[in-house]
Amino acid sequence: MTRTLGKDLLDLESLTGDQIRLILDTAEPFKEVSERAIKKVPALRGKTIVNLFFEPSTRTRISFEFAEHRLSADTVNVAASGSSVSKGETLVDTARNLEAMRIDMVVIRHGASGAAQFLGNRIRSNVINAGDGMHEHPTQGLLDLLTLRDRFGRIEGLKVALCGDVLHSRVARSNIWGLLKLGAEVAVCGPATLIPREFAQLGVQILPRIEDAIAWADALNVLRLQLERMVAGFVPSLREYNRVFGVTRRRLERAPRDLVILHPGPMNRGVEIDSDVADGPYSVILPQVTNGVAVRMAVLYLLAGGAPDWRSPAGGGAGKPDD
């Protein structure tokens, strides 16, 4: 059993099932930290983490910041606009200059697939991929897995359908790898223009109609239409997309079982998901956000060399609130 993660967290494709379970198991007790009056443990005191975001982000960036602060790390936020990157500095030059300031970790979001690995191969600091192009978004995949495990008590044997813009979704790719490695059955559903056919080679079912996904699945992970990445007419119109593929209460009422509804956000309400579904009793969208902080705390902690049982003496005594 592999009980360490290595230097970087770049994707879920390269992790083993045991490594994924290690992160999820480590995240569970970190949830309790966020419920304390003093939401802080000294596990990463003295560590310096740089959040290097080349793409706009709200949820992921803030979630990482919360995780870093709750572990008592020192953090620096760098956005591409307003930094030397906007003056022509390369990614490696930026990272090496930061590393010269003796940082310990870099959390990077970048529009180019492979950017996180490119950086990880060139600096000594730990690198965490917060989303790279259309490749992967591993911490989002992990928090989705944790949310499903919380709700069902297991991942193995679950039927999970990823519905919507699978083609442009790095979240979908991380979910597919994580779910398959933990023994779930996976399907994708959406317009043919937005479903990569090569996923079938991984053992992923391709369902042509949203009604088919609702009838088959235990859980739906509804993906946003990424209009900013579309350079051609992938869908006739947003109204037509909602009519044919929208996850609506009326459609869910015909399901043979109560479905758990996930969405990585941000949501296009009234397009891929209706508000009465997003805010309904089977939605776990807000628990996903809560779990995101715990998962990112676990990843940061494990990459820093923390023991899997962080509340034991070997884990650095992290269970005591920071002063």
Q: What are phi and psi of 169, to 5 degrees?
A: -95, 110
* pTM, 2 dp: 0.91
Residue with tokens 């609702």: 214
What pLDDT, in 10s, does the model give residues 77-86? 987 665 555 5
Give mean pLDDT, residues 137-150.
98
C-alpha dihedral sign at 92, 8, 173, 213: negative
What pLDDT, in 10s, does the model give residues 157-193? 999 999 999 999 999 999 999 999 999 999 999 999 9
Give me the DSSP letters along 27-63.
HHHHHHHTTSSS----TTTT-EEEEEESS--SHHHHH
* Whether residue 37 has pLDDT greater than 60: yes
Kindly state the percentage of the chain with pLDDT values over 90: 76
Mean per-residue pLDDT of the chain = 90
Give mean pLDDT, residues 100-121.
94
Q: How far is CA 262 from CA 148, 219, 224, 257, 314, in A?
A: 9, 8, 11, 16, 36
Highest mean pLDDT among 84-98, 101-115, 299-313: 101-115
Kindly state the percentage of the chain with pLDDT values over 70: 89
